[in-house]
Every structure is written in structure tokens, then in C-alpha cells.
């Protein structure tokens, strides 16, 4: 339990969080075997590594992947929250950027 | 015996004394002289992140919690349920909203079976909950009063934006610049001329009252424009400013009282604006 926070990120911000836990919301483009491709809120594609048994937890078109960043662009999934088939990614990306703004450092 | 019934103190005693200090949303702040600088301008229910709860401060163990220099009563949180522990008298939800982790304790009413819930809270789902911050031996938790499964995923983001907006409003005051103080100073000078005053009041109306009828807003501005607005303005003084029929004014004041826009101060005929 080094850190119990999991900041919300987009694909560009993964590089700042290597080794840490993050929450990545995006659109599932492909699920194949032990990997999935998710389009993050900023439009970039992220590879999500999944353990075989976890693949079934990805059900909806939009999901929030809770996972650990292994390298920029790659997240190892720990948990998946299904966010339905309709999600405004512009709002998500706005929140992600505000999350990392120093203006709100006391809340995120 | 008649001696006792004439004593006003004994009369009220039979009822068991329903008033409890600190229970009133206004009493705790306005009743204490000297704490006037820390007036509670925040809405009584505040959307927050878990990190804000974990970093909230408290002057002493009975005091209100303070986040961003504003006292908080009830808070709302939208977070993922990590684990659930059911106990005999309460259910403990371990919550994670990405900013931290926190326990929420929901006390179960043994007489009411909670089987009528639309959707049961299970591990992994996102829930919306409302409650009060508590601390027990250095461990913080929320005493939950309301909870439900959050179905629309936008609610997560709405809540975060709502929490950010609330924080900014506390730092900078309400949007559109002209806050309440400028309203009162500009309207005060116009008091001599009734028609000019009315026009002024309508223009400078604080937008939080925009949904109220014009006369309601006029009464609120009249109270604010009075020099004694902090201590409460006598109903007679309000009547002098706004004019009109006494019955209409008293009905308006009752309606404002019911809506929580004003409250009585030293006695039943002195009013101050809640803000």
C-alpha cells in the first residue's frame, strides 16, 4: 500500500504516472485475449493488459479501467467499472485535466 | 399549584423542551459573538472528494469540520465501493473515488427492512451518498444518511465538477461579480424615491433569488439595505421601505421564512437574510 490514490488520467498523462495506480476512462475498441485497446478521453489509444479471467468484466462500450501503469501507453488492469454505452468524453477529459491542475491540488 | 403555572419557566417544561442548541442550521453561527468572521456562506450540503474529507480540519472534537475555510455540515460523495462489511447494526462501505479511501457507515434501522431498495449496493459499483463527517480514535468515516447506486456514469464527472465549482465559489464568491454587499449600498441611497428604488432593486437582484417573485426580492433587498441587517430588521422598518399592505408583507415574510431565505433574530418581528 504505497499509495491509495488513483488519479484520473488520459493517454497523454500516463507517462507521468508510471508505476502508479490510475483510473483511465475510455471507449473499448478491441478486446482480444489478454489485452484490450481503449481510446482514452484525449483520443489516444492505450493498451490494457488483462488477466484471462478479467476479460469478461469488460462489458460496456465505455469503461473506467483501474490499473497500474507499467509503461507509457500500457496499463495493467486491476478492476473495471462499466460506464454504459453513452459517455461524453469531452466532459471526462475536462475533468482529467482539472484533476491535475494546481488550482485543485487540495481536492485531488 | 397556581403559582407554578403562572411561572413562564414551568409552562414550557411540560413539553420536554424541544429546542436543542446546535441543532439549528443558523443558531451555531449567529449565536456566538466573536465567531462572526467565519460566517457559513456555503450551502448546507456540500459536494466533496474523499481527499477533502481526509484533509478537513476541526478546531475541537465537537466543532464543525472545515474544508477550504468553510464549515461543512452534510457532504455528498460519489465513489466506487471497494468492499462491504455487514454488521449487526450497521453496514460499512469502503469507498474509493480516486482521491483517497474512506469508510462510510450506514446504520441499519432494525424495524424497517431495507428490501425496497431499487438496486442493492454491491462491491465494485459506484454509489452516491450523503452523510456527515465523523471521527473515532483518529479514524475518519462518514455517517451515511442517504445512499443509492449511481446509474448514469456522467454523475461521477458531474459530482467532481460540482465539487470544484463549490470550492471556487467559496474562494471567489458567487458568479457575475456583484455580490450582496454592493447591492445593499446602491439600493440604500435610493430609498427616498420609491420608484427609483424599485427599479434599482430589480436590476441588482442577486441571482440566487431569481426564482422568487418580485415582491419577495424587494423585501430581501430591503432587509439587506437596512443598517441593522446583521442583527435583524424590525418588521416595521421593512414595511417603511417596501410599502404595500401589512397582510401582504407578513405573508411574504412567512413564505421567505418557510423557504429558509430569512430567519428571525432577537424576536419574532426581527428578520435577517440567510446567506
Q: What percent of chain B has pLDDT over 70?
A: 70
Q: Quick one: closest CA in A to B49, which residue? A: A107
Do the domain assignments include residue A92? Answer: no
- Shortest CA distance to B79 belongs to which of B150, B144, B145? B150
- In tens, the pLDDT along B75-93 reads 999 999 999 999 989 999 9
B152 touches chain A (CB under 8 A): yes
Positive or negative, the Cα torsion across B192, B195, B196, B202?
positive
Q: Tell the burial category of B110 from Cβ atoms under 10 Å away from its Cβ (0-12, 13-18, 19+).
A: exposed
Rounded to the nearest 10°, the torsion over CA B60, B63, B65, B71 is -130
CATH number where A71 lies: 2.40.50.140
B48 touches chain A (CB under 8 A): yes
Strand partners, B243: none
Q: How confident is the model at residue B261 (pLDDT cuts 50, 70, 90)?
A: confident
Do the domain assignments include residue A94? Answer: no
The answer to whether B262 and B271 have CB atoms below 8 angstroms apart is yes
- In tens, the pLDDT along B6-51 reads 544 544 444 444 444 444 444 344 434 443 334 445 457 999 999 9
Q: Quick one: closest CA in B to A4, which residue? A: B100
Q: CATH classification of B45-166, choosing from 2.40.50.140, 1.10.3720.10, 3.90.940.20, 1.10.357.10?
A: 2.40.50.140
The answer to whether B20 and B31 have CB atoms below 8 angstroms apart is no
Instruction: Give dist(CA B59, CA B43) in Å, integer.
Output: 20
Outline where chain B has alpha helix (H).
2-6, 8-13, 27-30, 50-54, 154-172, 180-188, 194-203, 214-225, 235-242, 246-258
- The dihedral region occupied by B66, where left means phi > 0, alpha psi between -120 and 50, and beta the remainder, is beta
Q: What is the pLDDT of residue B199?
A: 43
Q: What percent of chain B has pLDDT over 90?
A: 35
pLDDT at residue A87 greater than cutoff 90: yes
Structural domain containing residue A21 = 8-85
Q: Mind telling me how many Å the CA of A63 is from chain B's nearest CA?
A: 9
**What are the cell numbers at B31?**
449565536
Q: Tell the burial category of B149 from Cβ atoms under 10 Å away from its Cβ (0-12, 13-18, 19+).
A: middle
Instruction: Give dist(CA B209, CA B211) in Å, integer.
Output: 5
* CB under 8 A, 24+ apart: contacts of B59-63: B61/B135
B54 touches chain A (CB under 8 A): no
| Cα within 13 Å of Cα(B174), Cβ side | 15
pLDDT at residue B190 greater than cutoff 60: no
Average pLDDT of every residue of chain B: 77
Do the domain assignments include residue A3? Answer: no
Q: What is the pLDDT of residue B94?
A: 96
Q: What is the pLDDT of residue B113?
A: 60
Q: What is the pLDDT of residue B260?
A: 84
- In tens, the pLDDT along B132-186 reads 999 988 899 999 999 999 999 999 999 999 999 999 998 888 887 644 444 444 4
Segment 167-196 of chain B within 8 Å of chain A by CB: 167
Instruction: Give dist(CA B108, CA B117) in Å, integer.
Output: 13
A88 to B154: CB separation less than 8 angstroms, yes or no: yes
Point out the least confidently predicted range of A21-25, B108-112, B154-158, B266-270: B108-112
Q: Quick one: closest CA in B to A67, which residue? A: B98
Radius of gyration of chain B, Cα coordinates, nearest whole angstrom: 23
Chain A neighbors of B55, CB-CB under 8 A:
106
Query: Within chain B, which residue ranges are assigned CATH 2.40.50.140?
Result: 45-166
Kindly list the residues of chain A whose beta carbon comes within 8 Å of any beta carbon in chain B: 4-8, 23, 62, 64, 66, 79, 81, 83-84, 87-88, 91-92, 94-95, 98-99, 104, 106-108
Do the domain assignments include residue A103? Answer: no
Among A87, A94, A107, the residue with its CB nearest the CB of B153 is: A87
Enter the pTM of the model.
0.64
A87 to B48: CB separation less than 8 angstroms, yes or no: no
Among A62, A87, A108, the residue with its CB nearest the CB of B99 is: A108
Average pLDDT of every residue of chain A: 93
Do the domain assignments include residue A100? Answer: no
Q: Mind telling me how many Å the CA of B212 is from chain A's nearest CA?
A: 32
Q: Quick one: closest CA in A to B54, which residue? A: A107
B100 to A99: CB separation less than 8 angstroms, yes or no: no
The residue with cell 460540482 is: B162
B99 to A92: CB separation less than 8 angstroms, yes or no: no
Segment 81-110 of chain B within 8 Å of chain A by CB: 96, 98-101
Give me the number of domains chain A comprises.
1
Strand partners, A64: A25, A81
Point out the least confidently predicted range of A11-15, B161-165, B242-246: B242-246
A104 to B164: CB separation less than 8 angstroms, yes or no: yes
Q: Quick one: closest CA in A to B164, which residue? A: A104
Q: Mind telling me how many Å the CA of A6 is from chain B's nearest CA?
A: 4
Q: State whether residue B270 is helix, strand or coil.
A: strand
Do the domain assignments include residue A48? Answer: yes
What is the C-alpha end-to-end distance of chain B, expressed in Å? 46
ipTM: 0.94
- Shortest CA distance to B221 belongs to which of B259, B267, B181? B181
- In tens, the pLDDT along B49-74 reads 999 999 999 988 888 899 998 899 89
Do the domain assignments include residue A107? Answer: no
Q: Which residues contact B251 (CB under 8 A, 6 or more apart)?
A: none
Do the domain assignments include residue A108? Answer: no
Amino acid at each position: 500500500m504505497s499509495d491509495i490514490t488513483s488519479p484520473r488520467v488520459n493517454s497523454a498523462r500516463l507517462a507521468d504516472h508510471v508505476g502508479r495506480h490510475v483510473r483511465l476512462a475510455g471507449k473499448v475498441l478491441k478486446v482480444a485475449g489478454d489485452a484490450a485497446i481503449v481510446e482514452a478521453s484525449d483520443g489516444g489509444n492505450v493498451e490494457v493488459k488483462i488477466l484471462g479471467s478479467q476479460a469478461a468484466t469488460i462489458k460496456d462500450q465505455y469503461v473506467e479501467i483501474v490499473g497500474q501503469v507499467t509503461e507509457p501507453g500500457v496499463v495493467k488492469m486491476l478492476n473495471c467499472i462499466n460506464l454504459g454505452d453513452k459517455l461524453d468524453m469531452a466532459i471526462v477529459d475536462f475533468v482529467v485535466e482539472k484533476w491535475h491542475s494546481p488550482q485543485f491540488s487540495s481536492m485531488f | 399549584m397556581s403559582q407554578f403555572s403562572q411561572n413562564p419557566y414551568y409552562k414550557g417544561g411540560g413539553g420536554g423542551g424541544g429546542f436543542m442548541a446546535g441543532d439549528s442550521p443558523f443558531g451555531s453561527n449567529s449565536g456566538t459573538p466573536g465567531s462572526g468572521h467565519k460566517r457559513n456562506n456555503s450551502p448546507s450540503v456540500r459536494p466533496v472528494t474523499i481527499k477533502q474529507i481526509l484533509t478537513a480540519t476541526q478546531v475541537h472534537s465537537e466543532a464543525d469540520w472545515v474544508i477550504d475555510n468553510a464549515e461543512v455540515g452534510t457532504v455528498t460523495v460519489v465513489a466506487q465501493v471497494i468492499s462491504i462489511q455487514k454488521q449487526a447494526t450497521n453496514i460499512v462501505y469502503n469507498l474509493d473515488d480516486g482521491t483517497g479511501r474512506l469508510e462510510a457507515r450506514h446504520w441499519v434501522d432494525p424495524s424497517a427492512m431495507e428490501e425496497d431498495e431499487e438496486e442493492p449496493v454491491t462491491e465494485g459499483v459506484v454509489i452516491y451518498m450523503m452523510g456527515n463527517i465523523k471521527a473515532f480514535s483518529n479514524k475518519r468515516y462518514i455517517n451515511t444518511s442517504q445512499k443509492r447506486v449511481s446509474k448514469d456514469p456522467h454523475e461521477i464527472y458531474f459530482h467532481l465538477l460540482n465539487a470544484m465549482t463549490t470550492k471556487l465559489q467559496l474562494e471567489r464568491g458567487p458568479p457575475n461579480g456583484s455580490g450582496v454587499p454592493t447591492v445593499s449600498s446602491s439600493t440604500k441611497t435610493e430609498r427616498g424615491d420609491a420608484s427609483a428604488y424599485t427599479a434599482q432593486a430589480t436590476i441588482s437582484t442577486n441571482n440566487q433569488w431569481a426564482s422568487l417573485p418580485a415582491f419577495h426580492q424587494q423585501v430581501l433587498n430591503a432587509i439587506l439595505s437596512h443598517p441593522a441587517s446583521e442583527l435583524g430588521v424590525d418588521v416595521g422598518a421593512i414595511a417603511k421601505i417596501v410599502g404595500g399592505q401589512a397582510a401582504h408583507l407578513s405573508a411574504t415574510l412567512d413564505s421567505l421564512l418557510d423557504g429558509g431565505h430569512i430567519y428571525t433574530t432577537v424576536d419574532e418581528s426581527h428578520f435577517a437574510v440567510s446567506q
